[in-house]
Chain A
Amino acid sequence: MTTTNSTVSSVSEATASDAALRRFLHGLPGVDQVGAEQRAAGLGTRSIKTSAKAFAIDLAIQMVDLTTLEGSDTAGKVRTLAAKAMRPDPTDPTCPATAAVCVYPDMVPIAKKALKGSAVKVAAVATAFPSGRAALDIKLADTADAVEAGADEIDMVIDRGAFLSGRYLEVFEEIVAVKEACQGAHLKVIFETGELQTYDNVRRASWLAMLAGAHFIKTSTGKVQPAATLPVTLVMLEAVRDFREATGQMVGVKPAGGIRHSKDAIKYLVMVNEIAGEDWLDPDWFRFGASTLLNDLLMQRKKLTTGAYSGPDYVTLD
């Protein structure tokens, strides 16, 4: 458990100047690395079986942001993905839809059209994804384009270079500017935790993004190894829990990249419940950025309903 030294007033004053922001972020308690890793590993050993497993699998399917972020993406692939998002298992009408599809901005109109009439949202990565190496006006134009095309959610990347060299206010103002460009769309802020080096930095980035008004904080782009890990997500879950305690505002968490098996997804859900609390066990507050995970969830779901192990011949190749 962490305790923050922040009170409501210090949170509101934290962003007054570069110095105040630095003081605030560096005043956050350090992360006990061994402790965080042990806690994450310990929570991963919980046994989730039968009806609890069925609940977890259905919940995890509803939390999936079905993602395709390849240079080789085509309109046809995005339409296929959209069809899968709306009806992951065509043989079983009780199988829930996923939360969203996540694509590059130029694919947003195609995804939007394919998903018309369904509750599945369209998320677009913006701001010079995945490196974030572009001028601010280009990033803002990128965002505005995606929003105009109809994206419901924007996944932005922070400028890791600025963050690591300590220019926190610059990162803060960039998030604020992108949020403005988002208009009504939900903003997810990607840290690329694989590049942040330490858990302390993950905690600082989490607070920085939440102070700037992020709706969601997201671990990774999926383009850098390591991507999402349990301890990193644990640190972020602690941050959103503490942030709600300090300000009353709830922020969502999205681990992305490297989550391929149902067993991993269930470990994450256990951690959400234990660290952040039951309120976060909801597709509005917790998401998985994944593509292959969905197939494994569907195979496990099939195993629970039919009693026989399923195989990759019975799910789509994507």
Chain B
Amino acid sequence: MARLDVKKTYKLYIGGDFPRSESGRSYPVSKADGTFWANASQASRKDARDAVRAARAAFAGWSTKTAYNRGQVIYRIAEVAESRRDQFEAELRSAEAITAAQARTYVDAAIDRLVFYAGWADKIAQVVGGANPVSGPYLNHSAPEPSGVVAVVAPAGPLLGLVSVVAPVITTGNTCVVIASEPHPLTAITLAEVMATSDLPGGVVNVLTGSVAEIAPWLASHLDVNGLDLTGVTDPDLARTLEEAGAENLKRIRRPGLEDLLAPPPLDRMTKFLETKTVWHPMGV
């Protein structure tokens, strides 16, 4: 007797769980050759709201972990991802019609990117903060602090795109809600499974799949979101609307622009969502 395949239901990743969309909707995802691959959940604004709530709840615990510990947790994501290399390579080849060698390049880059940011966790404060020379009897120093909940629109590039935008945000202690690339949502959920089985606390990363044009405006106008990374927004009109909505509560916004994801990432992926606390402390006397 022939064996029936066990088909996977791709769901969302919110607060460490994998719920279906509250709306019950899904949309078909095709492989690069046009054939049907699977259905992905189509998140609604309520899923976005739930995700923000989960991210907010996780913020207190995640941002107060020591930077060293956050680095270890992100390194652990890389470890678990490494053990799923074959799955990622196969998925990338289905999604993008690329060669095995290209797929390997992307998976290598994505895992290396995680290790790269894991290393940054306890070094960023030394690079962008430090003691300031002031003309007075004060010890004056600045320290970068996380902003809070950051909403991220991930660029195309099923695996590397997502890792490149999520890792820098959480490395510094923020929590995030990320809208996965609309045509390639499945690998994002596979990566969510990696995060769920590593040491990352639930709610630090929340992955939504679905229409960017539908969900992003709700995140941009949400008053409990502190930052907005628009890297994956390709429509300039939408980007503009989102920036305007985000201005309401002075969100920190990173504008979309052309970027080579394989190149070493710019520092502002991290610094954009940090705020600097400067302390003046009297000394001497």
CB nearest neighbor in A for B225:
A311
A309 close to B248 (CB less than 8 A): no
B223 close to A314 (CB less than 8 A): yes
Q: How many A-B residue pairs have CB under 8 A?
A: 27
Residues of B within 8 A of A312 (CB): 56, 224
**Interface: A313 (CB within 8 A):** yes
Chain B 207-243 interface 0/1 with A at a Cβ cutoff of 8 Å (1 = within): 0000000000010011111000000000000000000
A313 close to B223 (CB less than 8 A): yes
Residues of B within 8 A of A309 (CB): 49, 52, 218, 221-224
Residues of A within 8 A of B218 (CB): 308-309
Residues of A within 8 A of B49 (CB): 309
Chain A 298-318 interface 0/1 with B at a Cβ cutoff of 8 Å (1 = within): 000000000111111110000
CA distance A314 to B49 in the complex (A): 16
Interface of A is mostly: loop
B223 close to A307 (CB less than 8 A): no
B221 close to A310 (CB less than 8 A): no
**Smallest CB separation, B43 vs chain A (Å):** 15
Residues of A within 8 A of B32 (CB): none
CB nearest neighbor in A for B245:
A308
**Smallest CB separation, A266 vs chain B (Å):** 15
Most buried by B among A308, A310, A314: A308
Residues of B within 8 A of A310 (CB): 223-224
CB contact list, A110-163 vs B, under 8 A:
none
Residues of A within 8 A of B224 (CB): 309-313
CA distance A307 to B222 in the complex (A): 9
Chain B 243-285 interface 0/1 with A at a Cβ cutoff of 8 Å (1 = within): 0010011000000000000000000000000000000000000
CB nearest neighbor in B for A314:
B223
**Smallest CB separation, B219 vs chain A (Å):** 9
**Smallest CB separation, A244 vs chain B (Å):** 39
CA distance A27 to B254 in the complex (A): 70
CB nearest neighbor in A for B248:
A308
Chain B 35-79 interface 0/1 with A at a Cβ cutoff of 8 Å (1 = within): 000000000000001001000100000000000000000000000
**Smallest CB separation, A288 vs chain B (Å):** 22
Residues of B within 8 A of A313 (CB): 223-224, 249
Residues of A within 8 A of B221 (CB): 307-309
Residues of A within 8 A of B56 (CB): 311-312
**Smallest CB separation, B53 vs chain A (Å):** 9
CA distance A312 to B223 in the complex (A): 9
Residues of A within 8 A of B248 (CB): 308
Residues of B within 8 A of A314 (CB): 223
Residues of A within 8 A of B223 (CB): 308-311, 313-314
CA distance A312 to B226 in the complex (A): 12
CA distance A308 to B48 in the complex (A): 12
**Smallest CB separation, B165 vs chain A (Å):** 22
**Smallest CB separation, A292 vs chain B (Å):** 14
CA distance A12 to B56 in the complex (A): 56
**Smallest CB separation, B217 vs chain A (Å):** 9
CB nearest neighbor in B for A310:
B223
Can you list the 7 inter-chain pairs with the closest CB atoms, starting with the nearest? A311-B224, A308-B221, A311-B223, A309-B222, A310-B223, A309-B49, A314-B223
CB within 8 Å of A: which residues of B? 49, 52, 56, 218, 221-225, 245, 248-249
| 16 A-B contacts (beta carbon < 8 Å) | A308-B218, A308-B221, A308-B223, A308-B245, A308-B248, A309-B49, A309-B52, A309-B221, A309-B223, A310-B224, A311-B225, A312-B56, A312-B224, A313-B224, A313-B249, A314-B223
